[in-house]
Amino acid sequence: MNTNTDFATCLVRFLTQYLPHERNVSSNTIASYKTAFVLYIKYMKSECGIDVSKLKLEHLTRASILGFLTWLSTKQGNTPATCNYRLAALHSFVHYLKYEVIDRLDEWQRILSIKPSKAEVKGLNYLSQEGIKLLLSQPDVTTWKGRRHLAILSLMYDTGARVQEIADLTVGCVRLEHEPYSIKIFGKGRKTRIVPLAKEQVAILRQYMEENGLLNVNRISEPLFFNIRHEKLTREGVSYILKTYADMARTHSTSLIPQRISCHSIRHSRAMHLLQANVNLVYIRDILGHVSIQTTEIYARADSKAKRDALEKSYSKLTPDVNTARKWEKNKDLLEWLMNLKK
């Protein structure tokens, strides 16, 4: 990036010094923020005619950001949720500028007053246990690639891990030496959690690791899942694997595999299945790596089966028995007497 302008200078310091060192922000968050600024720079050039080499802090205004958000929505097809992520990155930058460039404090306050869009609340997209079983039956385990893909998808489901968490796993994260078997997952905000592994999952994972020589102590720092070049898989790579087998499974049953499916759908599926198995919400929170139990409660609110079962268990019969109330109609003598009463 050209650092001859005050905008470029501040942005470089924000991304390379302030976020990683002063705020201890994760590399994934920084990557997301970089994407937001790449899009903002693209907008300023294409819509405002200001090239990055001439982009200054004076161009960073409430009006330009509102225009940027409109551009994201109308011309880039971004959802309100995605626009809010981009706005959050810009807000974070402006919070930083409040203490670095105080002579524009009024403008920074106007930018910070921009409210996020109200995103549409969608229902949780998850698969039934039959759907997960169908999905995991698709990889061809007679091939190396199929065995690798089964290990990835089954581990994603068993741990409820996010797609980036799966991509970031190293050999050293896995604990298969003795029970209880577990895996260390590095989550959002540099937080780590230990997730227990089911024996069935361990069998698949152990076979994959043995086949690829990953049980060697000298390979603990290497990625657990890698491509043919032995490079760590990307988010897009893991998502592509899921999409491939979801498309295959959908040819067998469109009702079990929804059209809209993502790696997060597998995470939601695991949470819902744990909830339906009466696992405590606190344990589900710890497995998923949620900071607050309130986040985990969305699964309880979304589980219509659990709601119905709870209502049935708490139901007290207060209404009259319709059949009992109309038993007199079966008494032909009484009915005839009533019919003849006014004759």
Phi, psi of 183 (to 5 degrees): -140, 140
284 and 246 in a single domain? The answer is: yes
Strand pairing category for 174-175 and 192-196: unpaired
pLDDT in tens, 143-157: 999 999 999 999 999
Percent pLDDT > 90 in the chain is 64
End-of-domain residue from the set 112, 139, 174: 112
On the question of pLDDT at 325 being above 80, the answer is no
* 62 has a pLDDT exceeding 60: yes
Is position 117 within any domain? no
Residue given tokens 């299945």 in the structure block? 273
Q: What is the pLDDT of residues 109-146, one digit of tens each?
A: 999 999 998 866 666 788 999 999 999 999 999 999 99
Q: Give whichever of 44-58, 113-127, 185-199 has the largest mean pLDDT.
A: 44-58
Is the same domain home to 169 and 301? Answer: yes
Within a domain: 258: yes
Kindly report the CATH number assigned to the domain that includes residue 80: 1.10.150
Question: Does residue 199 contact residue 181 with C-beta atoms inside 8 Å?
Answer: yes
Section 14-26 average pLDDT? 92
Per-residue pLDDT, 220 = 92
Question: d(Cα 95, Cα 110) in Å, to the nearest integer?
Answer: 12
Query: Both 136 and 107 in a single domain?
Result: no
Half-sphere exposure of 317 (CA within 13 A, CB side): 3
Q: What's the mean pLDDT in 5-14?
A: 95
Residue 134 lies in a domain: yes
**pLDDT digit string, tens, across residues 263-316:** 999 999 998 999 888 888 888 888 888 877 676 777 766 655 555 554 455 555
Supply 173's token pair.
């994260």
Q: Which of 112, 141, 158 is the last residue of a domain?
A: 112
pLDDT of 102 > 90? The answer is: yes
Place of tokens 């590399």: 27
Residue 247 has pLDDT above 90, yes or no: yes
pLDDT at 188: 79
Q: What pLDDT, on a 0 to 100 scale, did the predictor assign at position 170?
A: 95
Residues 133 and 80 in one domain: no
Predicted confidence (pLDDT) per residue in 198-232, tens digit: 999 999 999 999 999 999 889 999 999 998 888 99
With beta carbons less than 8 A apart as the criterion, state whether 267 and 169 touch. Answer: no
Number of domains in the chain: 2
Structure tokens at 318: 């207060």
Above 60 in pLDDT, residue 41? yes
Mean pLDDT of the chain: 87
Q: Is residue 343 part of a domain?
A: no
The Cα 306–Cα 297 span in angstroms is 13
Q: Which domain holds residue 276?
A: 129-307
| pLDDT beyond 80 at 174 | yes
Dihedral pair phi/psi, residue 232, rounded to 5°: -60, 135
Residues 108 and 134 in one domain: no
Q: Please give the Cα distance from 76 to 96 (Å, whole number).
A: 27
